[in-house]
């Protein structure tokens, strides 16, 4: 929590995932943000299930949940669970505030909406920069190609270097086939 009692946008952005091609937040994370138990959130969801069509909320499959756990790299994430978490789209999160009806839910939802807007703005700014660069590239001749290639390289995320498995032995190379003073026969 920040000083003014609201969660920082950066913290919210870190728990927005891309699942089934949609930006979503999981019920376990949302319950934590709302300061309620996950079962309370799920109960409220089930009592108002008609407010949550598939484009607002869906439950993760076993494969999606296992994949997400491996990405987060926490073996006991979510603790011992009997049920898979629910994933809420931006519209589903907005609907939750009307279902939960607490001041905390309203405050948290405002911050979540700000996080979703900020993510959209960052994506739009990146695509706008890409469009402008393409227009400049068409406008100027090939002498600037090196500059444009360098800018594109800076825009792309860095490649992760794979760690080499094993070890390297550094030994002096044997001098096979070389004849020095020791190798000459005396006549």
pLDDT digits (tens, 9 = 90+) for 40-82: 999 999 999 999 999 999 999 988 888 877 776 554 455 555 6
- What pLDDT score does 83 carry? 76
Locate the domains of the chain by residue range: 9-122, 125-155
- What pLDDT score does 172 carry? 73
Q: Pick from 56, 57, 29, 47: which is nearest to 101 by CA?
A: 47
- What pLDDT score does 87 carry? 92
The answer to whether 112 and 12 are in contact (CB under 8 A) is yes
Q: Which residues of the chain have pLDDT under 50?
A: 1-4, 75-76, 187
- What pLDDT score does 115 carry? 84
Q: Pick from 11, 40, 20: which is nearest to 28 by CA?
A: 40
Task: Find tokens 């937040």 and name the residue.
Answer: 25
pTM for this model (two decimals): 0.58
User: Candidates 3.30.420, 3.40.50, 3.40.1350, 3.10.260; correct CATH number of 9-122?
Assistant: 3.10.260
């Amino acid at each position: 929590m920040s000083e003014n009692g609201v969660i920082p946008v950066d913290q919210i952005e870190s728990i927005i995932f891309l699942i089934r091609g949609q930006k979503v937040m999981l019920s376990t994370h949302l319950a934590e943000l709302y300061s309620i138990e996950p079962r309370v959130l799920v109960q409220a969801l089930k009592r108002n299930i008609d407010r949550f069509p598939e484009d607002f909320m869906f439950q993760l499959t076993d494969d999606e949940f296992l994949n997400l756990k491996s990405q987060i790299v926490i073996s006991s994430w979510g603790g011992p669970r009997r049920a898979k978490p629910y994933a809420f789209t931006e519209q589903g999160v907005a609907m939750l505030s009307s279902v939960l009806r607490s001041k905390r839910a309203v405050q948290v939802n405002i911050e979540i909406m700000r996080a979703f807007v900020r993510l959209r703005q960052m994506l739009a700014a990146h695509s706008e920069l890409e469009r402008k660069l393409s227009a400049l590239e068409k406008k100027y001749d090939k002498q600037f190609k090196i500059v444009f290639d360098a800018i594109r390289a800076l825009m792309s995320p860095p490649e992760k270097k794979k760690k080499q498995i094993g070890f390297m032995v550094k030994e002096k190379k044997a001098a096979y086939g070389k004849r020095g003073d020791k190798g000459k026969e005396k006549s």
